Amino acid sequence: MRDAPSTVLPGRDLSARAAQLALRVAALLEAVCTAESGARAAAAFLRSWAGTAMTTRPAPTCSTPLDAVTTRFALTDAERDLLLLAGLPEEHEGLASTFRALHPRSEPYPTAGLAALVLGDGDDTGRATLRRLLTGGAATRHGLVRLHGDGPLFERGLRPADRLWEALHGHDAWPETIERVPVGEPPAGLTRWLEHTDVRYAIAAIRAGDDRTLLITSPDQNVALSRCAAIAAAAGTGLAAGRLDGNQTIGTAHLLTAHAAARDAIPVLVIPAVDGPAATRDLDLHDIPGPVLVCTAPGAARPTGQRPMLTVPIGPLDATDHRTAWRTGLPALTTQAATLAARHPLDPALTAWIAADVRSRQQLMPATMQVPDVSASIRARIEGSLPPSVDFITATVPWDRLVLPSEPGRQLRDAATRLQHQSLVLDDWGLRHHARADRGVRLLFTGAPGTGKTLAAEVVATAIGTDLLRVDVSQVVSKWIGETEKNLAAVFDIAERTQAVLLLDEADALFGARTEITDAHDRYANLETAYLLQRLDHFDGLAVLSTNLRKNIDAAFIRRMDFVIDFPMPDEACRRDLWALHLPPRIRDDDVEYGVLARLYPVPGGWIRNAAIAAAFLAAADTGARVRQAHLISSIRREYAKAARPFPGEPPQPAHRAGSDKETR
């Protein structure tokens, strides 16, 4: 982007131009004031200061900030001189003292009456001209010059806009009333986006310099600003961005535009989203000169008026763009760029942030950079802002910890494979275009409690090398209208950004069947369901919905699932494997018989896990003995009692059996 103006030439040139106004003030004082008033001494000081300022003025070699402001706001010579006169007290404390002596209320500003005498002919025509400039001229209409104080017009003081005089000197001054928003450099990975037709229109609009509003809408402010940076770089200009909150008026936009003009830059209005009935604010920029970029969340602002407007999309982006962003951000992982793009298809703006985090970690503890380092940095960025309904789980559960029949296990592996290869199939092979295939994988786990649904989600997350985002549905659902959708939107956004496996456990409350509308509650419940259907369609990741009762799930959700996996109650062979899995051989006694336990107690895997843990504690309390069959039977009896189910009884005492007949698995 264009470099900032020189900090030496603009200041000296501005002082020299202001000095010419100081000479005119001096001439006026000498002409209309008596010697006894002390005005002649003030005039002498004005001439002395002006002479010094004008002799140190270098020959201008480029456009100065004052020139840029004059051009942007189409100021006449009189309006430019009005701005210079208003800024004179900022040049020297002696000048401020001089104007204080001339002000009827002893304020250090030139008055409108003094301006009428200096800039006009001193007659009624001059006063009428100045009155017109002060009430409707460009300098005051756009806030470059402000009238200060109360009282009659010609007794009020003239001041330049907040911190504008320092900016006209070429310094990076910024108004205190506007929150400055850093824009930064455009990230890599947007080259193809810049070729989009609407984006090319936006670049042409900035180059033309005409009055237009360029609207960029994104839930993420950083993403929208990255598009502004890319457009400005392509157009060969700079940006000056400020945030407008709900209490600020269009005058703030004028002030931001003035500071942008002093930097020969384009103003960027950042409008955050707000809650409440006035969430959408009208934005009338008809009197703002030149192009203006507006970054806003969806629905936060609505441009009005007859000012031309262009909408700039933030997409589309494909696998090539994501690979370029990762390759540029992390050159050390160039060979892994395709893997990173498939696993973490973040927006290029966010990719640049994560890459900077990874490089910073690398500098602190030099080591071979790996793909898991990227995942860890993404997780670190997100964990601090997780809502209370979400738990981040670092999954470390291998496939062999999941005991399932062959068909559910095969479907789980197919789901993990689909996510790993979707970039190849959808982007490189073109099925996203030809078959209108969506990104992401959606799974529905059904089955009784304790059959391994949550464990399966952890296994899949481990297999694809990402985290598990487990959602507490009870905290997501709200009785307040619209809050459930808002909570879910935040959850889906976090899951997409981290590419963690999203687990909505016991999802019946969220994905229940729609009902006939009999009252307002039914209407809004159905709206929630419709929102979730739409959000699932566009979810770019792996989503797992689990339920104990498949019949309670809306049929529309079933159709959208890529895999519907039923988790049956484990058969006897699976139960035997589960007992062996949860009891390491070194802690079990020789009298433990897995086959007997599996045959006599037809329970889900969750019960077996609980019983194994409880038996281990019983054994530890029993003088540290190893786990015996009696410990296991006592523990499984408690599981039956918790579920209020009749206990099948203890196995008969075994007769003497050969050691080879005992279960040693």
Domain boundaries, the chain: 9-168, 179-312, 319-385, 399-567, 572-661
Same CATH fold, 572-661 and 399-567?
A: no
Contacts of 81 (CB under 8 A, 6+ apart): 21, 119
pLDDT category at 586 given cuts 50, 70, 90 is: confident
When pLDDT is averaged across residues 624-639 and rounded to a whole number, the result is 90
What residue type is assigned to position 211 of the chain? D
| Range of lowest pLDDT (296-305, 361-370, 427-436) | 427-436
When pLDDT is averaged across residues 395-415 and rounded to a whole number, the result is: 88
CA dihedral 474, 479, 485, 491 (to 10 degrees): -30
Rounded distance between C-alpha atoms, residue 99 and residue 110, angstroms: 6
Q: Which two tokens stand for residue 583?
A: 């009891």
Decide if 196 contacts 313 (C-beta within 8 A): yes
- Which band of pLDDT confidence, cut at 50, 70 and 90, is reported for residue 660? very low
Give the lowest-confidence range in 28-42, 99-113, 552-566, 647-661.
Answer: 647-661
Q: State how far the Cα of 326 lies from the Cα of 316, in Å rounded to an integer.
A: 17
- Give the bridge partners for 283, in sequence order: 303
What pLDDT score does 154 carry?
Answer: 87
- 443: three-class secondary structure by DSSP: strand
- Which pLDDT score, from 0 to 100, does residue 60 have? 56
Q: Does the domain at residues 179-312 carry the CATH identifier 3.30.1360? A: no
* 455 or 433, which is more confident: 455
Confidence of residue 183 (pLDDT cuts 50, 70, 90): very high
Give the list of residues 6+ apart from residue 495 with CB closer than 8 angstroms, or none.
469, 501, 502, 539, 541, 543
- 4 secondary structure, DSSP code: P
* DSSP reduced 3-state for 107: coil
Q: Per-residue DSSP letters for 238-257?
A: EEEEEE--TT--HHHHHHHH
Distance CA 60, CA 14 (A): 11
Residue 257 has pLDDT above 90, yes or no: yes
CA distances from 269 to 72, 125, 239, 251, 516 (A): 17, 40, 10, 12, 45
Structure tokens at 269: 């209005």
Q: Alpha-carbon distance 642 to 526, whole Å? A: 36
pLDDT of residue 59: 55
Radius of gyration of the chain (CA): 36
Determine the Cα–Cα distance for residues 352 and 186; give it in Å rounded to an integer: 9
Which two structure tokens, joined as six digits, stand for 506?
């016991």
Confidence of residue 135 (pLDDT cuts 50, 70, 90): confident
* pLDDT at position 404 over 70: yes
Examine residue 316 and say whether the peptide bond preceding it is cis (omega within 30 degrees of 0): yes
Choices 1.10.10.10, 3.40.50.300, 3.40.630.10, 3.40.50.1820: CATH for 399-567: 3.40.50.300
Poorest-pLDDT segment among 215-224, 360-369, 426-435, 537-546: 426-435
Q: Which fold has domain 572-661?
A: Helicase, Ruva Protein; domain 3 (1.10.8)
Q: Which region holds residue 656: left if phi is over 0, alpha if psi is between -120 and 50, else beta?
A: beta
Task: Spell out a b/e string for 250-282, using b for 16 or more CB atoms within 10 Å of the CB, else e.
Answer: eebbbbbbbbbbbbbbbbbbbbeeeeeeeeeee
What pLDDT, on a 0 to 100 scale, did the predictor assign at position 514?
43
pLDDT band at 655; cut points 50, 70, 90: low
Question: How confident is residue 275, by pLDDT bands cut at 50, 70 and 90?
Answer: low
> Would you state the structure tokens that stand for residue 77, as one six-digit string?
């010579």
**For range 299-313, the mean pLDDT:** 87
Rounded Cα gap, residues 467 and 552, in angstroms = 28
